[in-house]
Amino acid sequence: MKKRPMSEYQKEFEIFVEQEKHLALMILARAQKWGDQKTAVKHKPYGEWISYTWAQFAEQIDATAMALLFLGVKEKEMIGIFASNRAEWSIADLAAMSIGAVSVPVYGTNSVRETQYIIEDANIRILFSGDREQTGTALSLLGKAESLENVVVFDQHIDIIKSDNVRRFDDFLAMGRQSGQEEALRAARSRLHADDLATLIYTSGTTGEPKGVMLTHRNILSMMFDPDGHLTLGPDDVNLAFLPLSHVFERAWTYFTLMRSAENHYCHDTKAILEFLRESRPMYMCSVPRMWEKIYAKVKEGVHTATTTKKILFNWALNTGGRFSALKRDQKPVPASLAFQHRLAEKLVLGKIRAIFGGRNKFFNCGGSAFSAEIAEFFFNTGVLLLQGYGLTECFPICIANETHNKFGTCGPVLPLVDVRVSPEGEIQARGPAVMQGYYKKPELTREMFTEDGWIKTGDIGTVDAEGYLTITDRIKDMMKTSGGKYIAPQHIETLLKEDYFMDQAAVIGDGRKYVSALIVPSFEQLEKYAIEQGIPFSSREALLKDPKILSFYRERIDYRTRHLGRVEKVKQFTLLAREFSQEDRELTPTQKIRRKVINAHFKDVIEAMYPD
């Protein structure tokens, strides 16, 4: 994809920054424009959808900001948000920013220990909490985390003992409205600047304690800069905030949604995503590969067990959809005969698949980990456009696909403001206005993240093709070397395995070993159903996983999924695990990435049993 000269984009970006200035001011400007004319945000924390107009949204931001001022919050003070997605999350976030404070998200799934670490590292005095479990964790840290003084509870249905230190969010709003801080709020907002620190986003800690990534408003505005108009989101559209707002991907896209005056819906329960999709019917959404892997596996398994006639119909519809979608992507005319066939395919097959997602999809972003080209192409053929992107908290995004520039298996073209190079070791390195200011209170670790000439080291191995499309193959720290000296990319193998309907999680083993093996967590709901259908008796999960017929069944599926891999990449041995990898046991990060060192330690005996010699 040919880009204009970098200097042109840089000039346009400075104009964009001058126009929007600051995230809080940007949102308040939209509120002044729309008032009560349209909905800004919508959520359903108590079972029914609740909508807020732009005027109501802005009023709650103001009230929250004045309550923070009343409690003595100063510029640059860190304000914590420990909650799942909901409208109040954005209200608290923007309220903190609008008085020059710094918003610090905490993953809603974090343990007491992980939450305490962030509170103490960022010296958080005021913490907003979400549901019952998050509030229980927050309250347990009052008096335990040295800096923590106040907890403000979003969920209005939780019984709490109210005090000067613990308040419901409704009471917090009332306090702000009665605080007399209007002039102080105006004064604080008059001092806001694009180079103010906006947030600390703590990394998920795959390789150690989380690090607070410092991002300014200018950094985040650069994430939303769309000079070539590839992102079509607008005032008539709906976005569903599915990923945690504590993740830079969802956070930046939510700001972008609000900047474009679209309606933002919040999904607070990722396990109920299909329900949210049916009810919200979003045109846009950020997502992760695992969601699509599961849906793909379920659809494919349904086709596999269907009658021959239905299989032929499904494959015809998919082929028709693929030809139609490719012509639309490439902005070429669609022949009348193909248009007719596509309408028929829509009615019989494709429309039913898209109905799962609400039926109004324009495109869904997908990122966070390796994603199968096969799955991306499958959904493309059904009319569900999944656009992959790539970046890291420290520099986001680096590249992103769009509706007219999308290659399956790549992360999309490198963005206009970003320079990318590949080091001699194959590492992707980048520079641009989205690059972080550094790690909070960690200058040594900050220096280690950059090359001597100022490029950020992503830690990812990848390539950039002649058209500027970036492909990531693995993490440098994840790369494995067998005892025979062969290098293995475990993420690629794990992605192939997780495409299977009967496999939920996978961890590939092989570093310093004679061959590759894998720990596999089955999709137990599907496996138990299969066992009953096949007349395989079992008294427990453990018993089921030892049955020779089940082991043979998984051997066949593993071999099929990895059939295109090289000989040294083949999974020679595997073990089926009776429990899932979990965040509670520190085997998964808050973003659901596996911690290999922890898994290797926790399953040491199981792993050793796969290498008897």
**Cα Dmax for the chain:** 75
**In-domain check, residue 225:** no
pLDDT digits (tens, 9 = 90+) for 137-185: 999 999 999 999 999 999 999 999 888 999 999 999 999 999 999 999 9
Find the helix packing angle between 373-382 and 289-304, rounded to 10°: 70
Kindly give, in sequence order, each residue whose CB lies less than 8 Å from that of residue 584, ignoring residues fewer than 6 positions away.
Answer: 111
- Token pair of 460, please? 């990812």
**In-domain check, residue 324:** no
Q: Residue 204 — very low, low, confident or very high, per pLDDT cuts 50/70/90?
A: confident
**In-domain check, residue 591:** yes
CA torsion angle 60 64 69 73 (round to 10): -140
**237 to 264, 347, 382: CA distances (angstroms):** 9, 24, 21
Per the structure, how many domains does the chain have? 2
Q: Residue 489 — very low, low, confident or very high, per pLDDT cuts 50/70/90?
A: confident
- Token pair of 351, please? 């429309």
Residue 377: other Cβ atoms inside 10 A: 15
The rounded mean pLDDT for the chain is: 94
Boundary (domain end) residue, out of 148, 177, 192: 192
Q: Are strands 438-439 and 212-216 parallel, antiparallel or unpaired?
A: antiparallel
Mean pLDDT of all residues in 211-233: 96
Q: Residue 207 — very low, low, confident or very high, per pLDDT cuts 50/70/90?
A: low
List beta partners, residue 422. 428
**In-domain check, residue 311:** no
Boundary (domain end) residue, out of 192, 224, 243: 192
Percent of the chain with pLDDT over 90: 86
**In-domain check, residue 388:** no
**CATH number, position 134:** 3.40.50.980
**In-domain check, residue 33:** yes
- Look at residues 460, 471, 574 and name the one whose alpha carbon lies nearest to residue 516: 574
**CATH number, position 602:** 3.30.300.30
Residue with tokens 């398994």: 301
Boundary (domain end) residue, out of 171, 192, 213: 192
Q: Residue 206 — very low, low, confident or very high, per pLDDT cuts 50/70/90?
A: low
Is pLDDT of 536 > 90? yes
List beta partners, residue 142. 145
3-state secondary structure 163-198: CCCEEEHHHHHHHHHCCCCHHHHHHHHHCCCCCCEE
Least confident of 116-130, 199-213, 336-350, 367-381: 199-213
**In-domain check, residue 230:** no
Q: With a threshold of 0.75, does the pTM exceed it? A: yes
Residue 444: other Cβ atoms inside 10 A: 7
**What gap in Å lies between CA 412 and CA 147, rounded to an integer?**
43
**In-domain check, residue 597:** yes
Determine the structural domain holding residue 65 and report its residue range: 22-192
Side by side, which strands form the sheet with 427-431? 419-422, 427-431, 456-464, 470-475
pLDDT digits (tens, 9 = 90+) for 74-94: 999 999 999 999 999 999 999
